[in-house]
Structures are given as C-alpha cells and as structure tokens.
Amino acid sequence: MSFAIYSCNNEDIPENVQIPEDPVNAIIPSPVIIGQENKGCVANIIFLAEGFTDSEMNEFINLCDIAKQAILDMEPFTSATNSLNFYLVESPSVTSGIKTKQFTSVCNGTTGITTSSQTPWAVFGNNLGLERLPGMEPEQRNKLEELFGNYATGDYVYTIIIANTMSYYGGAEFPGVTDYNKIIEPKVSNMIVSKFDSSDGFKFLVRHEFGHSFGNLDDEYEDIVSDCAMKELLGALPETPKLNVLTYNPGSWFEGARYVPTGYWREWENSIMRNDYYSTTFSPKQREVVNQRLADAIGCP
C-alpha cells in the first residue's frame, strides 16, 4: 500500500535535536551507522524505532539487521552494497506499541478503535479506515524533514519507521510525494512497517514498501476498499500509473493492478509489488525502473 537538495556528504547533519511537539517531548538521538560507512556518492537509509521502550530497543536493533538484509537480498541493491549506508535511530517510547484510530468512511463504514500511546513519531493504525494502513501526525512527519533532511544525497534520504506491533501494517510515500502533500521539495521519502512476525512477513513488508518509497513503483494487487480509500485520500488516483504498470497489454502481461481488476496491466502474475511474500526478484520492468531510481538516489554519473 502506498500513500501518495543535493549533497554528497554528511557534514551538516545535526546532532541530538529536541522535538517540542513530540508526544513524549524526548531527545531524538542522532543516527548510528550499521556496519561500515560508505563514502562518496551514496544513498542513505535510516531505520527509526516507534513503540519500542528502552527495555525493548535490542529487539528493534535486531529488526534493523533483518530489514537491511531483506533489502540487500534484492538486486540491484545487492550489487550496490558499497553505495548504500544504513543507519538506525534508537528513538524510545514511553509506552510499548502504537496507537490506533477509529475511522468512519464511505468505503468501509466504521472500523477500528481509538487507543492512546506515547511514542516519538505518533504513528497510528487504521489510517483511512484501512486496518493494515499506518499513518502519522503531520507535525511528526514534518520533523522527519527537519531532523534527517541533511542526510539526502542524490535525491532523498529514505526513512523506514519500524512499529512495535504484531498487527500487519505497511504504508509508504512515493519519492517526492508526502502523505499530506504540504511539504515543499521534501528531502525525505518515508515508509512505515510493523514488526509483524519479525520473519518472512516482516521482510516482505520491508521489500514491498521500499519498492514504493525508494523504487517509485505502483501496487500491483487488486482491492476495492483500498481503491476507494486512496480516492478519498487523493481525490482520485492519477490517471497515469507508475512505470511498472501499463494502461494497455503489450503482450503476455496480466490485467489487474492499482487496486482494480481491469484497465491496468502488470508484467508478472505475482511479484514483490503484488503479494509474493518470498520473492527477492523484481520483474524486468520493475528492475529497469529501480535501476534508474538507484542511479538518481546515489547521485553519481
């Protein structure tokens, strides 16, 4: 599910910064590199903890390792290992887990219940009345730009919020398009995933949402409620799909994508951008798009 500046160094990255609007008024630590830091023209990816208390932070650190490997198991990222930096931010929560919101819509009636939490990024479940879709409060989304925008290199910095819940949550922005469409020239492309099963399901969520926030790929599955909710969020989906989805069949493609069963075609019957939990391979067209995105993200000729 998707929602809808240039630097080759990290010299201006801020140190610890306080977030006054943060629900717990906490100090957010600076990102810490995972493994070896690559120099020169690179793309930076930052994992953020949400809903993990201090005593649960080791679990978050372990999930960061799993998520990093889930990305590096895919080409073209496997071959670009020396051009990618992975960081983590141990942003602690007062309470364990994340909140949810009750939502009433024309698409799905009334779903969810309203609960509370004290977490640094104010992530919540049941966004737009879709139980699996997470969201975050606008003020905290703006803080991602303030705190991590200086990590942007060729085009953006890519933040991955890992939420401490076993519910199935996943959502992402497309590069350059924020959830609220009110940030001018965003430097951050953000995605949110739940820890879910901390295993294959979690890896799939990471790969699929990274396909949105980094690869700029459309969803290739069908879901009438998602279609309705996206139209409620955006007014209407853009007529022109992302490059992995076509409005015609070039031959041997499969009809059904962008949440609807007709009118859009996908290259493979199933893929990372549909619901192939175990694939680590992009379709040829997806790979072509992601290759170009990787070149843009790294920012080197």
Tokens describing residue 125: 């479940």
Q: What is the pLDDT of residues 126-176, one digit of tens each?
A: 888 888 889 998 889 999 999 999 999 999 999 999 999 999 999 999 999
Give the per-residue pLDDT at 155.
94
CA dist., res. 251 & res. 270, Å (int):
16
What are the two backbone dihedrals, phi and then psi, of residue 57, each rounded to the nearest 5 degrees?
-70, -30
Give the per-residue pLDDT at 180.
64
Give the per-residue pLDDT at 126.
81
Q: What is the pLDDT of residues 223-268, one digit of tens each?
A: 988 888 877 766 656 778 999 999 999 999 999 999 999 999 999 9
DSSP letter (8 states) at residue 290: H
Q: Of 47, 37, 48, 49, nearest to 84 (Cα)?
A: 37
**Domain for residue 41, yes or no?**
yes
**Domain for residue 85, yes or no?**
yes
**Domain for residue 100, yes or no?**
yes
Q: What is the pLDDT of residues 165-204, one digit of tens each?
A: 999 999 999 999 886 667 888 999 999 999 999 999 999 9
233 touches 128 (CB < 8 A):
yes
CA dist., res. 155 & res. 189, Å (int):
10
Give the per-residue pLDDT at 1.
46
**Domain for residue 72, yes or no?**
yes
Give the per-residue pLDDT at 18.
40
Number of domains observed in the structure of the chain: 1
The parent domain of residue 120 ranges over: 17-218
Q: Using the Cα atoms of residue 273, residue 260, residue 218 and residue 255 in order, give the sign of their dihedral.
A: positive
Q: Of 43, 45, 41, nearest to 69 (Cα)?
A: 45
Give the per-residue pLDDT at 67.
98
Give the per-residue pLDDT at 116.
84
- Residue position matching structure tokens 């006054």: 20
Q: What is the pLDDT of residues 44-98, one digit of tens each?
A: 999 999 999 999 999 999 999 999 999 999 999 999 999 999 999 999 999 998 9
If residue 191 lies in a helix (H) or strand (E), which one and from where to where?
Answer: strand 188-194
Buried b (16+ CB within 10 A) or exposed e, 101-134: bebeeebbeebbeeeebbbbbbbbbbbbbbbbbb
CATH number of residue 114's parent domain: 3.40.390.10
Q: At what angle do helices 57-72 and 200-213 cross, to 10 degrees?
A: 60
**Domain for residue 285, yes or no?**
no
Give the per-residue pLDDT at 237.
66
| Amino acid letter for position 171 | G
**Domain for residue 231, yes or no?**
no
Q: Of 60, 235, 75, nearest to 163 (Cα)?
A: 60
Give the per-residue pLDDT at 234.
63
Q: Of 119, 204, 217, 201, nearest to 161 (Cα)?
A: 119
In this model, does residue 22 exceed pLDDT 80? Answer: no
Give the per-residue pLDDT at 26.
65
Give the per-residue pLDDT at 184.
84
**Domain for residue 238, yes or no?**
no
In the chain, how long is the greatest CA-to-CA distance?
Answer: 56
Give the per-residue pLDDT at 11.
33
CA dist., res. 50 & res. 93, Å (int):
7
**Domain for residue 178, yes or no?**
yes
| Pairing label, strands 99-100, 135-136 | unpaired
Q: Tell me what the mean pLDDT of segment 94-120 comes to.
A: 86
- Non-local (6+) Cβ contacts of 184 within 8 A are none
Tokens describing residue 251: 């031959």
CB hemisphere CA count around 259 (13 angstroms): 15
% helix / strand / coil in the chain, to the nearest 5? Answer: 25, 20, 50
